[in-house]
Chains A and B, each alone.
Chain A
């Protein structure tokens, strides 16, 4: 039987996505009583954590805003099938964020951001492994590497700057030619002339199930999950004394962790912190039961989508769409992903498909906010993981538990401060 000893106090976690369920598990380990509140069931498709491509990559250290990004801006606004699109009506809303995004693409910033990403992601396996072992789902972490394929022979040399960043951070990088691609991943059609293989990366074949299993494990250790939407706070002198819930309920709190993904920005603003957070709406299409033979998560470097072999079939994920939290999904974008991915495989039979859209919580500089709130002394922020929430989930969960317990953090949190913007 597990004994958690005498609780050292209560922590209320807002958000039951990957960050929230990892934080819940690590907080329990520190001896806290834990409550988790989210309108969505953990691991369900309303969550961003459900629909990502499944990469769990310690070597992820390439920001979204890279030098030269500016010249792509006109294309984003015009090409409806491009990997990044701003819905025109939403442009005025997104503009301040986009300007910050462009500012983050300057080389000195890119290098600092890259180092911060690496520091957060480096120990992703070490932080996931004890959790998934205890939860009995070790099949949900596979270490098969990650493959970036190019349709031209000079792909890797064109991306030399990014590869240099990876190598500078000690990430193992292999450059492959067409023949080596075929040997490594015979499922791919012979249209790729060059590739970058990162052998130390990992993947999760069902991120939704990972979230659900970690939530289940936390519940089994005594965490209490409540399905409700937090819409505000009762504020006392030093921070919130209660959460206000949609429908009129109130939940008294001691310490609060805010990890509500793309919905965190508004809640942080109520606590006195203005943090630029945009939903980077992502899409995927699942081809159920597809047997392409693909083993390794493969990214089309030219067309900017990810093909992932999942438990239930093949998942093609990608797109960044700026249209806010309320606009309905444009599932044509999911179909476009499949259209682009089809020529990638030697064999791909398409039967039943499912389409999905979710909200990545994006900061302009690609890295999350992990910090105490500036005024609300009992609130810890852990949101804004953008494209890397699954990678950063377990590490962030551990850091959150250390912050709550007043212990030194495993990594330097300076780059992740809330007041950096």
Chain B
């Protein structure tokens, strides 16, 4: 079975960085796959992407050893099974707020006896190899999103879910459920404290903590807290930032590091 780079990096004690794909294009997915990310995550929740867009994007990512991952739109075994059969090597599941929800999510990703995923790895067996069924349970990453005050309250129980590999903090939703404004890189004391608490509890439980970061500086802080899976911005945001910096520079005729 083809290897899962993110899992290999975790096994070495390292930190994996994922690019985030919100633009429904196999071309931008292929471009991103050439940039050296450890993983790329096709976002079916807030990205403009649907299942029919996601499949060729996963094929594009497969031109490299970058781990193909998908954030599914919801904790629903129907779409989880479909993206896995399409060759996703990791699933990020939004809004996992209780141990029961975590259990349902993980079981949707695992074949018997660890779960109830139905067997039919259409493209997955092309990507992974003929022995996909034998190794899928040990290769595929299950990552539950912790993005509400309720999920933080239930965290210790959620982290006990068998065969849950990682969690992924959605900082924006987490801030909103704690009465703050949405956005990347929250520094509100209570929210930040929750983000620290999540990392500490994950370390105790042997679950990899992950988070979505909007800046290099926030990434540095998250690294210090022990986060070992980082999403950094997205294709959409990076394109937007680059254009918003470069166009005025071009008009003004003032080159800079980002607009030479």
Contacts and interface: CB of A to CB of B under 8 A. Distances in A.
A263 interface: no
Contacts of A216: 9, 12-15
B11 A227 contact: yes
Contacts of A218: 12
Nearest to B14: A216
Interface string B54-90: 0000000000110000000000000000000000000
B201 interface: no
Interface in A133-186: none
A7 to B, nearest CB: 13
B11 A1 contact: no
B177 interface: no
A212 interface: yes
A275 interface: no
B44 to A, nearest CB: 26
B138 interface: no
Contacts, number: 52
B12 A42 contact: yes
Contacts of B38: 220
Interface string B159-196: 00000000000000000000000000000000000000
A215 interface: yes
Contacts of B15: 216
A219 B8 CA distance: 6
Residue from A1, A16, A226, A227 with most neighbouring chain B CB atoms (10 Å): A1
A44 B9 CA distance: 15
A224 interface: yes
A42 B13 contact: yes
Interface in B7-34: 8-9, 11-15, 34
B117 interface: no
Given A43-B13, A219-B14, A224 B8 contact: yes
Interface string A195-235: 00000000000000000110111111011111100000000
B76 to A, nearest CB: 33
A81 B106 CA distance: 54
Nearest to A24: B12
A219 B12 contact: yes
A351 B99 CA distance: 38
B5 interface: yes
Interface string A325-347: 00000000000000000000000
Contacts of A215: 12-14
Interface of A is mostly: mixed
A225 B12 contact: yes
B34 A213 contact: no
A68 to B, nearest CB: 43
A367 interface: no
A224 B9 contact: no
Contacts of B36: 1
Contact of A44 (B13, B34, B64): B13
Contacts of B11: 219, 224-227
A212 B34 contact: no
B122 to A, nearest CB: 27
Nearest to A43: B13
A26 B5 CA distance: 19
Given A1-B34, A1-B64, A220-B38, A41 B8 contact: no
A225 B64 contact: no
A36 interface: yes
A269 B160 CA distance: 42
Nearest to B15: A216
B12 A36 contact: yes
A43 B9 CA distance: 13
Given A1-B36, A215-B12, 17 more contacts: A1-B64, A16-B12, A41-B13, A215-B14, A217-B14, A219-B5, A219-B11, A219-B12, A220-B8, A220-B9, A220-B14, A223-B8, A224-B3, A224-B8, A224-B11, A225-B8, A225-B12
28 contacts: A1-B34, A1-B36, A1-B64, A1-B65, A36-B12, A41-B13, A42-B12, A42-B13, A42-B14, A213-B14, A215-B14, A216-B12, A216-B13, A216-B14, A216-B15, A219-B5, A219-B9, A219-B12, A220-B8, A220-B14, A220-B38, A222-B8, A223-B8, A223-B12, A224-B3, A225-B8, A225-B11, A225-B12
